Structure 1
Amino acid sequence: MLLHDLLARRASSDGSGPFLTCYVGGSSGGLPARTELSARSFANWVAKTSNLLVDEAGLVPGDRVELRLAADHPGHWMTLIWTMAAWQAGLTVTDDAGDVIVAGPSPTGTPGVPAYACSLHPLGLGLKDLPDGWTDFSGTALAQPDDWFGEGPDSPAATAWEVGDDARTFAELTAVEPSPARVLVVDPQDAWTAVRACLAAPLLGGGSSVVAAAVDETALAAIAADEKVDA
């Protein structure tokens, strides 16, 4: 089974259980913002985003998603939602030119393809007053259907990931050590590290992940205790 198939199975069999919890450090010593997504809620966001990519942006299997968001926010839940949504729709995630562009809350440039800006708000609130050519992700995605009935990749051998010098097929995404544990992932340094620890390993092994970004040591210790992480 490919990763999006495993997500669908997880959402069906253990939908209310924790899957992805994200903490982002507060400004000026404030408390970290927390976002928790069960397998079912994560899958729901993924379905809506896949529908956005296909029905609004007009992408088809084999097209490319330029995920700029992953460069600066590799472990953010919105980055991981977009990654899985692209794969569910049979698309390639890339850091190079794509058929759609996904950026953070302060996008620059005038895109020549459909382009979406992500607020990174812990509750998924949307953005206003975006530059010409950019669309708010949250508001657009929330208007999409809750279920996904579209096509997946044309073949397990199709390219799913093409970031830097790292290229992987859909089948190769599952060549990761499964994790049955609840794992704490601190400041993932690159997109593949985040994808491996927060998507592939827990989907393959039945585990879950807690991502902490820009969180100080005191808060990190409290997070580890409160979330009952195993490692």
Structure 2
Amino acid sequence: MNATDRTPADLLGSALAADPGRPLVTFYDDATGERVELSVATFANWVAKTANYLQGDLAAEPGDRLALLLPAHWQTAVWLVACSSVGVVAEVGGDPAAADLVVSGPDSLDAARACSGERVALALRPLGGRFPQSPAGFADYAVEVPGQGDRFAPFVPVDPGAPALAVGGEELTGAGIGERALADAAAAGLPPAPRVLSGLGYDTWRGLSLGLYAPLAAGGSVVLCRHQDRLDGDALAAREATEKVTFTVPRS
């Protein structure tokens, strides 16, 4: 992490400037067989489009609170960094009734309807596919976002010292995310520019840090595995070899 890097959006900007073509997030769903790999440039493009949608169409402002009801997924990672880009507080697993807006996967739509603000739904289908029919009361992310701009500039500069993330009963600032993620990378013994494999959920700081923020802060990448428990030891070892993993996050 450079001395000027502070927020997750800053970290992504530095990664984009350094090597836009390298892999950043590789996602597996071992329940469906899906594999998606996003380079730094592709991930940054998704973040820019999502941030433009969040700031423009959804009229979100710095300090607004977004209930993020999504599993560990590449699109969840996009939303987390997009929130940081706009200054919106991402509340992972937050209460929709208390949030300004909600972003939900297909399994939490009933709970998400408690939000009186804007509601966005993600089908979480392969390649970011849309719902066959958009859920009533929700905008379909896969319909709304592709047409958004490829570059993003916040209407209001984001304060790195303002709240940015709430998870597991604690709240972190944008700067705090980057600082703590870098400390986690050192404490875990991540090698330089690590290729990290994580099967942890995104409902804890440890899962978020080792499954996104720490690899990003350390100049590396993540292989994010949903439903990893369906792999036996041989299959996991084969994936580690194929993906050139240099650090595997322990499950416990």
Fold conserved (TM > 0.5)? Answer: yes
Displacement of 1:13 after TM fit? 2.0
Number of the residue aligned with 2:54: 53
The 5 A counterparts of 1:47-126 are: 47-69=48-70, 73=71, 75-94=72-91, 95-96=94-95, 97-106=98-107, 107-108=109-110, 110=113, 111-126=115-130
Q: Is the 8 A contact 2:167 2:203 kept in 1?
A: no
CA distance in 1, matches of 2:77, 2:178: 16
Amino acid at match of 2:245: V
Deviations 1:121-172 (A, max 9, x none): 2311111323321111112111111110224664222101123411111111
Q: How high is the sequence identity, in percent, across the aligned residues?
A: 35
SS in 1 for 2:127: coil
CA distance in 2, matches of 1:148, 1:119: 24
SS in 1 for 2:35: strand
Amino acid at match of 2:16: A
Amino acid at match of 1:26: A
Number of the residue aligned with 2:10: 5
CA distance in 1, matches of 2:214, 2:237: 23
Displacement of 1:193 after TM fit? 2.5
Number of the residue aligned with 1:141: 145
Deviations 1:2-41 (A, max 9, x none): 22012012112211101110110135xxxx2101011111
CA distance in 2, matches of 1:36, 1:189: 18
The 5 A counterparts of 1:178-189 are: 178=185, 179=190, 180-188=193-201
SS in 2 for 1:126: coil
Amino acid at match of 2:20: G
CA distance in 1, matches of 2:215, 2:135: 37
Deviations 1:189-214 (A, max 9, x none): 62422321233212221111101121
Number of the residue aligned with 2:250: none
Q: Is the 8 A contact 1:57 1:114 kept in 2?
A: yes
Number of the residue aligned with 1:39: 40
Amino acid at match of 2:151: D
Amino acid at match of 2:217: L
1:229 aligns with 2:245: yes
Q: Unaligned regions of 5+ residues in structure 1, if any?
A: none
- The two structures have a TM-score, normalised by structure 2, of 0.82
CA distance in 2, matches of 1:189, 1:99: 21
Q: Unaligned regions of 5+ residues in structure 2, if any?
A: 248-252
SS in 2 for 1:162: strand
Count of matched residue positions in the alignment of Structure 1 and Structure 2? 223
CA distance in 1, matches of 2:124, 2:163: 27
SS in 2 for 1:42: helix
Deviations 1:60-117 (A, max 9, x none): 1111111011xxx1x2111111111001101101113321111112422644211111
Amino acid at match of 2:130: G
CA distance in 1, matches of 2:19, 2:159: 28
Q: Is the 8 A contact 1:61 1:151 kept in 2?
A: no
- The two structures have a TM-score, normalised by structure 1, of 0.89
